[in-house]
Structure 1
Amino acid sequence: MVNRTREAHGFELAELNIARLLEPLDSPRLAGFVAGLEPVNAAADAAPGFVWRLKDESTADATSFRIFEDDWLLVNMSVWTTHEALHAFVYDELHRAVLRQRRDWFEHLAEAVTVLWWVPAGSRPTVAEAQERLEHLRKHGTTPYAFGLRDTVAPPAPGADYAPQ
């Protein structure tokens, strides 16, 4: 564990978070969530340090992707230059306003729903890789291979990669 301000030296920070819907996306209960997708995604896209986010090109969001073979679990996955950049976006007022309403739209899950890990700069993680990292975090807790939003884990040394432990 190190200070979050250390440069990534050829690595970028991938993040996955998941949420289980309480009702279908087209239900009146989820209208506020659906209406907020475009502005929140646009804010992410424009945020300093944003690199990439998972999206279906036909909808410009990730609501068509699923994980753990669960039709009720939504996936949000993105890549950022640094931990600070991701934190700045997550705790930005627009995103926090949406987060405050999450209990209206999503089931509370007892297990970890967010995982971070370092990826070589320019690479894009897959949903399968993200699921594996989340499973690792759930089973082993914070490690350099998979860690939570509040954890501080340095990127691998140049030319290295973290392997599961």
Structure 2
Amino acid sequence: MPQLALYTFGVLKSPLADPAPLTREFHDRAEPIYQTISRHPGYLARAEAADGDRGTHFELDWGAWGKFTVPTWYGKGHTAETTALATTLSLWTDLRPAFDAIYTGLHREALNRRYDWFERTGHPGHVFWWVSDGVIPTWQDGVSRLEHLHDHGSAPHAFTFHHSFTPDGTPARIKGIGPKSDLAR
């Protein structure tokens, strides 16, 4: 059965290493949010460093998730002192569980504060695509899909919650988003 890949990317207003209270507040919320989401029904996995290290994204060994890469529009640093990004790569069983996990609880609270922490870049902040069971998407896959979404809009190849698709490419809607009243299957 196909699985849903989700890549998120945001450019932070200040580097992760910045000791300012607002940056620390963002950083301190990450682990509790990851823990909550990892227990959510429909969540399968997320990219984590192979050795469990917490260094800069660019230097870590991501194992099967591949070499870390970022979209072409990211123009900030790549060192521990200058990296100013937040990104995730995860696998889900379907759109509804992903939607429910992202738009409830701790993550919803963080989303409500996103403009305190993130720059408004004019680029999409997330992208979905379907992968075959057992396939682990790579960081490069996520970047390619996000850039495709930016350049071409939602399509079965790369889509958003608002304009989503089933694994066979049929347009789908999640209840509460878009013009239809329920997830079309």
Shorter-chain TM-score tier:
0.7 to 0.9
Match of 2:97 among 85, 91, 94: 85
Q: Which residue of 1 aligns with 2:124?
A: 112
Deviation per residue, 1:136-162 (Å, 9 max, x gap): 1111111111101222301038xxxxx
TM-score relative to the length of structure 2: 0.73
Q: In 2, are the aligned partners of 1:15 and 1:79 still within 8 Å (CA)? A: yes
Q: 1:68 aligns with which of 59, 66, 71?
A: 71
Q: What does residue 97 of structure 1 align with?
A: 109
Give the SS at the match of 2:164: coil
Is the alpha carbon distance of 1:60 and 1:12 closer, same or farther for their aligned partners in structure 2, counting shifts above 3 Å? farther
- Return structure 1 stretches of 4+ with deviation > 4 angstroms: 60-66
Answer with 64-73 or 131-140: which moved more: 64-73
Structure 2's unaligned 5+ residue stretches are 61-67, 78-83, 170-185
Structure 1 gaps of 5+ residues are 1-9, 158-165
Q: What is the identity, as a one-letter code, of the residue corresponding to 1:67? A: V
Matched, 1:131 2:143: yes
Partner of 1:45: 38
| Higher normalized contact order (CA 8 Å, seq sep 6+, divided by chain length) | 1
Preserved CA contact (<8 Å) 1:118 1:156: no
Q: Is structure 2 residue 12 aligned with structure 1 residue 21?
A: yes
What TM-score, normalized to structure 1?
A: 0.81
- 1:93 Cα deviation from its structure 2 partner: 2.1
**Given that residues 37 and 43 in structure 2 are in contact (C-alpha distance below 8 angstroms), is that contact kept between their aligned partners in structure 1?**
yes
Matched-pair contact (CA < 8 Å) for 1:18–1:74: yes
CA contact (8 A) 1:54 1:61 kept: no
Does the 8 A contact of 1:55 with 1:62 survive in 2?
A: no
- SS of corresponding position for 2:135: coil
Q: In the comparison of the two structures, how many residue pairs are matched?
A: 148
Query: Within 2, Cα distance between the matches of 1:89 and 1:149?
Result: 13
Question: How far did 1:66 drift?
Answer: 4.6
What does the per-residue CA deviation read over 1:107-152, in whole Å, with 9 as the maximum and x for residues that have no partner? 0121212110001112111011111111111111111111012223
